[in-house]
Structure 1
Amino acid sequence: MKHFYLILILISGLSFAQEKKETTSIEVDFLAGNVMQHAPDLGHLVSGHPTGTMISFSKKTYGSDEWQSAYNYPDYGVYLLYQDFKNPYLGHNFALGAHYNFYFLKRRLMFKIAQGIAYTSSPYDKETNNKNKAFGTKLMANTDFLLEYKKPNLIGNFGVQAGFFFTHFSNGKIKTPNSGINTYGLNLGLNYNFDKPLDYKKDTIASKINYREPIRYNFVLRTGINESPIIGSGQYPFYHVGFFVDKRFNRKSALQLGTDVFFTNTFKDFIRYQSVAYPLKNIDPNTDYKRVGVFLGYEMFINRISLEAQLGYYVYQPYKYDIAVYDRLGLKYYFTKKIYTGFSVKTHAFLAEALEFSIGARL
Structure 2
Amino acid sequence: MLLVLPGWGSAWAQAPRAVQPVVVGLYAQGGFIIAHSPRVKHLVTAHPTGLELNLQRQLTGTQPWHAWYRYPKVGVALVYYDYHNSAMGKSYAGTVYLSKAVWRTPRQELSFRLGTGIGYFPKAFDRETNHKNLFVSSRLNATLQARAEYDVALTPKLGLMVGVALNHYSNGATAKPNLGVNIPTVVLGLNYHRQRQFVPLPANPADEPTDLGRNFVNLSTSVGFKQRNESDRRRYWVNSVTVAGGRRLNRKSNLLVGLEGFYDRSLLAEQRDTARNADKLQDVKKAGAFVGHELLLGRLAFGTHLGFYFYNPYKSNNFYYERLSLKYHFTDRLFGALDLKVHRGAADIIEWRAGIKL
1:248-268 Cα deviation digits (max 9, x unpaired): 211111122223321111121
- How big is the shift at 1:319? 3.2
Partner of 1:194 in structure 2? 194
CA distance in 2, matches of 1:284, 1:178: 32
* Residues matched between the structures, number: 340
CA distance in 1, matches of 2:33, 2:280: 38
- How big is the shift at 1:143? 1.6
CA distance in 2, matches of 1:222, 1:234: 20
Q: Is 1:77 matched with 2:72? A: no
- How big is the shift at 1:354? 1.6
Summarize the alignment of residues 217-228 of structure 1 with structure 2, pairs less than 5 Å apart.
217-228=217-228
Q: What RMSD, in angstroms, separates the aligned Cα atoms of the two structures?
A: 2.6
Q: What TM-score results when the alignment is normalised by the length of structure 1?
A: 0.84
CA distance in 2, matches of 1:158, 1:284: 71
Summarize the alignment of residues 60-71 of structure 1 with structure 2, pairs less than 5 Å apart.
60-71=58-69
Confirm or deny: 8 A CA contact 1:75 1:101 kept in the other structure: yes
CA distance in 1, matches of 2:42, 2:243: 42
CA distance in 2, matches of 1:140, 1:349: 20
- How big is the shift at 1:349? 4.1
- How big is the shift at 1:40? 4.5
Q: What TM-score results when the alignment is normalised by the length of structure 2?
A: 0.85
- How big is the shift at 1:221? 0.8
CA distance in 2, matches of 1:269, 1:85: 36
Specify which of 284, 289, 296 is matched with residue 301 of structure 1: 296
- How big is the shift at 1:129? 0.8
Specify which of 85, 100, 103 is matched with residue 102 of structure 1: 100
Instruction: State the 4+ residue runs in structure 1 displaced beyond 4 angstroms.
Output: 206-211, 282-285
Query: In terms of mean alpha carbon deviation, does 197-206 or 261-270 score higher?
Result: 197-206
Task: Tell me the secondary structure at the aligned position of residue 289 of structure 1.
Answer: coil
Confirm or deny: 8 A CA contact 2:20 2:195 kept in the other structure: no
Partner of 2:31 in structure 1? 33
Return closer, same or farther for 1:305/1:117 CA change in 2, 3 Å cut-off.
same
Identify unmatched segments of 5+ residues in structure 1. 1-17, 277-281
CA distance in 1, matches of 2:317, 2:331: 36
Specify which of 59, 65, 71 is matched with residue 57 of structure 2: 59
Partner of 1:269 in structure 2? 269
Partner of 1:314 in structure 2? 309
CA distance in 1, matches of 2:23, 2:34: 32
Partner of 1:9 in structure 2? none
1:38-70 Cα deviation digits (max 9, x unpaired): 445333333333332222111222112222222
Q: For 1:53, give the aligned amino acid.
A: L
1:292-349 Cα deviation digits (max 9, x unpaired): 2332211011111111122223333333333344222221111222221111222234
Return closer, same or farther for 1:293/1:21 CA change in 2, 3 Å cut-off.
farther
Task: Tell me the secondary structure at the aligned position of residue 113 of structure 1.
Answer: strand
Normalized per residue, the structure richer in helix is: 1
1:152-192 Cα deviation digits (max 9, x unpaired): x3323111232321111112222222222222243333211
Q: For 1:26, give the aligned amino acid.
A: V
Confirm or deny: 8 A CA contact 1:22 1:61 kept in the other structure: no
Q: For 2:143, give the aligned amino acid.
A: N
Task: Tell me the secondary structure at the aligned position of residue 21 of structure 2.
Answer: strand
- How big is the shift at 1:25? 1.0
CA distance in 2, matches of 1:146, 1:342: 24
Partner of 2:351 in structure 1? 356
CA distance in 2, matches of 1:311, 1:126: 36
Percent identity, aligned pairs only, is: 29
CA distance in 2, matches of 1:176, 1:259: 29
